[in-house]
A and B are shown apart, each in its own frame.
Chain A
Amino acid sequence: MTPEAIVELSAADLARAIRSKQLTALTAMEAVLARAGEVQNTLNCFVRIDRDEALAAARLADAELARGVLRGPLHGVPMAHKDMYYREGAISSCGSKIKRDMPAPSTATALKKLDTAGAIQFGVLNMAEFAYGPTGHNYHLGHCRNPWNPDHITGGSSSGSGASVAARASFAALGSDTGGSIRLPASFCGVSGIKPTWSRVSRHGAMPLSFSMDTVGPLARTVEDCALILAAIAGADPLDATASQHPVPDYMAQLARPIRGLRIGTPKRYFYDNIDAEIEGLMKSSLEIYRQLGAEVIEVDLPDIEPWNTAAMLIIAAEAAAAHGNWMRARPQDYSDQVRARLELGLAVPATSYLDGLRLRGVALQAFSRDVFAKVDVLHAPSVGFQTPTIAETDISGGATMMRVLNNITRLTRPGNFLGLPCLSVQAGFAGNGLPTAMQLIGRPFDEAALFAAGHAYQQATEWHLQAPKQP
């Protein structure tokens, strides 16, 4: 198999090929390192590539397999991750100037679990500064660029995760999602991504942004890959008291569960307010695919989400400001203008507004469950309502229009964070500007399996996820 063909494989297919000894981990690693080197100058998706260590780890994986030792379902699969997952002794810049000299004190549980599953980390990926930006701009590391058109944004904050996976420069990548940071780059770059239920994956060793909203999840080529990786990283963790004890289902076994009869909700309002007409058309087309697959598509009335969205912004702002308080006092000049402006806003949020936001979350989840999940199994909606903008169009810094622009970008993703619900972003076609867009499937708490089954069925019936950008 040629290097070009190898990097086109999904993570699941690559894992199968390595397990069955059709391919070696070393060959896969060499192929992906070569691709990463080819795209880096144009896309700026990597912060660091650990070439020698990765090649050594791949050789070790092959030697283990030759001895009959299979570490796990991701044995030998090369991955790079958002530069906010700590590995003891290594630098995680978190996309910032402030943390670029600070070695991590411990290793993230998600990384440990991926190590145990056999994945090999070969690099760390660009991201928005402290994961606090939805576009992919980074004024310290340089902006990450969209592989479908480098003039356009990748989305953020997991910008390098979306760009590298789409460019076939990583087989999959961890991202994080506090207000849309997995789903936005997944949508803008044309890959799949799962924001799990809040607490489904341990956050130990992951940079905090907003502790009551932060989630850890993968971006990958396919829904199957997302299921494979989430299965590896989900579950309880003694190092993170908030990590749920809820049992982790066998996501891979449930991928093929029947779609016929699945009730898919389509919202009457909010998600389609002022949406781009082409994206609306693509959403209708994706719903038609589901009808053809035997699912029942049902219109649903949603509760009034708009104020929930605003409450979510206040919560994130206040929690981020608290986490950054010491650096805001000591090193405010070391933040980019936009992040500093957002943290200043967080410092001024009244305590009662923050706490009322937290008080609202349980009430809101009950209302949403009553109005939506009593009637349907999965809610279908666009991940974003507009075509991918250019880097220049969204280069807004920290001025007066900042919050309006940023809030518009995250408008359709943030409700999932406020409600703590699992949301799967799935490629749904291309807009007129030639860039991809996505639908998101929103499920009941801890029912990622239903989303994976629905997303996988859609990908078996379509080919959007097989489209790759041209080499830059």
Chain B
Amino acid sequence: MSQKFTADSVTAQLALVGTNIEPARAANVAEALATQVSAANTAYASLPFEAEPAGYLHACAEAAS
């Protein structure tokens, strides 16, 4: 099941972190997030279980240099 973003879900999410958002702005956020998260998920689908962000790039950069 894919992630769904709606104006209501965005409003609720922002309320959880103490920020108000007007309905029209929440709708814009929901639309943009739906597009971005869906696109990123195509890459996330092939992430190895063991991949972790700790030292993620620094160590890789040192190793690849």
Contacts and interface: CB of A to CB of B under 8 A. Distances in A.
- A and B, one complex? yes
Interface of A: 197-199, 212, 242, 244, 246, 304, 306-308, 310-311, 313-314, 325, 328-329, 332, 341, 344-345, 347-350, 353, 355-366, 369, 373, 398-400, 402-403, 419-420, 444-447
B65 A447 contact: yes
Interface string B5-46: 100001001100111110001111111110111011111100
A445 B61 contact: yes
A400 B28 contact: yes
A311 B32 contact: no
A398 B13 CA distance: 19
A329 B57 contact: no
Contacts of A357: 40, 44
29 contacts: A197-B65, A198-B58, A212-B56, A244-B58, A307-B43, A307-B44, A344-B19, A347-B19, A348-B30, A349-B37, A353-B3, A353-B40, A353-B41, A356-B47, A357-B40, A357-B44, A359-B44, A359-B47, A359-B53, A361-B57, A362-B57, A362-B59, A399-B28, A402-B28, A444-B64, A444-B65, A445-B61, A446-B61, A447-B65
Contact residues of A: prevailing secondary structure: helix
B40 A197 contact: no
A329 B18 contact: yes
A374 to B, nearest CB: 10
Nearest to B61: A445
Contacts of A355: 53
B57 A356 contact: no
A356 B44 CA distance: 6
Contacts of B60: 361-362, 365-366, 445
Interface centre among B3, B29, B35 (most CB of A within 10 A): B29
Nearest to A306: B39
Interface of B: 3, 5, 10, 13-14, 17-21, 25-33, 35-37, 39-44, 47-48, 51-53, 56-62, 64-65
Nearest to B3: A350
Contacts of B21: 344
A380 B56 CA distance: 26
Given A344-B29, A345-B33, A360-B51, 7 more contacts: A242-B58, A332-B20, A348-B5, A348-B33, A353-B44, A373-B64, A400-B28
A79 to B, nearest CB: 28
Contact residues of B: prevailing secondary structure: helix
Contacts of A313: 36
A311 B40 contact: yes
Contacts of B41: 307, 353
Given A311-B40, A363-B51, A348 B64 contact: no
Contacts of B59: 362
A328 B19 contact: yes
A219 B56 CA distance: 28
A420 B61 contact: yes
B14 to A, nearest CB: 5
Contacts of B29: 341, 344-345, 348
A442 to B, nearest CB: 13
Nearest to A242: B58
A400 B58 contact: no
B25 A307 contact: no
A353 B30 CA distance: 14
Contact of B36 (A308, A310, A347, A373): A310
Given A307-B42, A358-B56, A360-B47, A365 B64 contact: yes
B57 A314 contact: no
In the A-B complex, the 3 residue pairs with the smallest Cβ-Cβ separation, listed nearest first, are: A358-B53, A307-B43, A445-B61
